[in-house]
Chains A and B, each alone.
Chain A
Amino acid sequence: MNENAELTKEYFEKRNKRTKTSAFIKKLLGNNNLGDFIFERLTLLFAMLVFLLVLFMAWEMYSHSILSIKKFGFHFLVTSVWDPFNEVFGALPIIYGTIVSSLLGLLIAVPLGIAVAVFLSEIAPGWLEKPLSFLTELLAGVPSVIYGLWGIFVLVPWLRDNVEPLLQNTFPNSPLFQGAPYGFGMLAAAVILSIMVLPIISSISRDILKSVPNTQREAAYALGATKWEVTKIVLGNAKSGLLGAIMLGLGRAIGETMAVTMVIGNRPQISASLLDPSYTMASVLANEFTEATSDLYLNALIELALVLFVITILINILARLLVWSTERKWKSNPA
């Protein structure tokens, strides 16, 4: 009897449990919460993948350049002998070439790019703005290697035969234009970079200028300002966003590989002359990566990639913050 009661109790407990579980599953499935649960977690997984990718990339490069980091330490960044045969790696001339070629490129691209943005956002009528924007964006879509091809066979001969002799004759004593005019060198790289960075700067600047509310323009017109004076006020309002656009261009210029590799002459040296060949981090990687025979050489190249990664990440973080803050400023507080 006692045994029987216990069995019954057990039976009911089991049944209770089962119905509880099945009710739970039924509730999940019935309301389709389970599907939603899975779907949300699945998309979250992929979003986390993107998030982890950035960290993973840094870790992957760090762990594969440990030999070089241990051997050269900080000297890697500040010494200037890059000698694969004797396994001495100092990246200073390469970092110098990267930064100088990018800044020179920006020197040409920034005034032009912002002027184009002003034209597109403030001056051009609607029927002209759309095709022009499309064309400048087309400029951004041309593969880098095709710019390089054009650079080798059109730009470099033109610079060598026309521009560089002219510069040397006009400024015979300037340290900027010394040495034989090869065509290949810092100047060619700067010109190619300015062409490639221009569409980025102009299209982001245009968006920034467009986000400045019209009330700002109307107020200036009401005070009797001319169109140019209104534009100056709009530019002043969009200052930090424009700085962000410029920095995005800088990030692109620093990491640009193919076109620069094809025209810069590829020689690790620090020279004041714009006509001399130079080298950038990206072009060292493009040229030497498959030739790296020893582990230390490969590690040094991967460390160079890591340095390039860190620099561009920092520039991009700063640039995005600037662009975001400007665009948000007007959204949250339309003056």
Chain B
Amino acid sequence: MEIKSGLNKISLYRRKITNVIMLSLSFLSALLALVPLIFVFYYTISKGIDHLNLNFFTKLPTPIGEPGGGMVNAIVGTLILVGIGGAIGIPVGIMSGTYLSEFGHNKFGSLVRFLTDVLSGVPSIVVGVVAYTLVVLPMKHFSAFAGGVALAILMIPTITRTTEEMIKLVPQSYREAGLALGIPKWKTTVLIILKTAWKGIATGILLGLSRAAGETAPLLFTALGNRFWSTNVFQPMASLTVYIYEYSTAPFKDWNDQAWTAALVLILLISVLSLIFRIITRSKYKV
């Protein structure tokens, strides 16, 4: 009896020690996971701030070896590319999300839901290859439009699934109230359900847009890049991300420095976009 309780004491002691060790390890992992985040932000800000001046936002890139210059074409290019992507991707995403939540309670709906999730796992460079065969090959030259198509395909899963989830959050009683007033279903959906869920849907759109703004791989052989000022969507167009890639892999010190600045501007651009979006969508309708 005595021996047994002694054993129990030891094993309880051991169990408690294991408990403390494992829980602290888990806590340490959570801290460790944040280290890269701190590092990446620290370096982007500290290295990027040197070249951050008005010229960067107003001047074109200079030829190799000539210091100074800016990336105004890339900033505008990124906005145009994301704009084209949004113009195609947002309507498709909202409409298919609406289908999934309002009509998609059948086998086809589940299949679409599943494929949307799978589509979000397709590598962005593969989407770039498809945009290349779909747009660049028939047109026979690189174009911003091809880049926009690639970005649209990448946005669609995010927007579709967020729209569906947000519409589902609208209480069933809203639908019943609309129908009880004799409002047809489509009007109820568009004017009441979508309007109520708008804020949440906007968050999904924002997420899609900001991810698209940070994409590089699908633009490499669609929008290609451009060292000159261009707003023609059927010509190659510059983007911040492609510049970061080119400038960081080039063997010139001032290009490398500008890559950091471009990275900082890209992060700022994404933050500003989300801020503007938040202000626009701040409304009395809340989910």
A-side residues, CB < 8 A to B, are: 31-33, 35-36, 38-40, 42-51, 53-54, 57, 60-61, 64, 111-113, 115-116, 118-120, 122-124, 132, 135-136, 138-139, 141-150, 152-154, 195, 198-199, 202, 226-229, 231, 248, 251-252, 254-258, 262, 282, 285-286, 289-290, 301-302, 305, 308-309, 312-313, 315-317, 319-320
Contacts and interface: CB of A to CB of B under 8 A. Distances in A.
Interface size class for chain B?
A: 35 or more
Contacts of A32: 184-187
A215 B182 CA distance: 45
Given A50-B112, A144-B214, A149-B259, A258 B245 contact: yes
B14 to A, nearest CB: 10
Interface stretch (B22-30, B52-60, B195-203): B22-30
A286 B40 CA distance: 23
Interface string B105-143: 000110110111111011111111110111001000000
B254 interface: no
A139 B134 contact: no
Contact of B25 (A115, A143, A152): A115
B95 interface: yes
Contacts of B121: 248, 251-252, 255, 312-313, 315-316, 319
Contacts of B29: 111-112, 115-116, 119
B104 to A, nearest CB: 7
Interface of B: 15-16, 18-19, 22-23, 25-27, 29-30, 32-34, 36-37, 39-40, 43-44, 47, 91-92, 95-96, 98-100, 102-104, 108-109, 111-112, 114-119, 121-130, 132-134, 137, 153, 156-157, 160, 184-187, 189-190, 210-211, 213-217, 220-221, 224, 241, 244-245, 248-249, 256, 259-260, 263, 266-267, 270
Q: Interface of chain B, helix or strand or loop or mixed?
A: helix
A321 B165 CA distance: 19
Given A45-B95, A289-B221, 4 more contacts: A50-B112, A251-B121, A285-B129, A316-B117
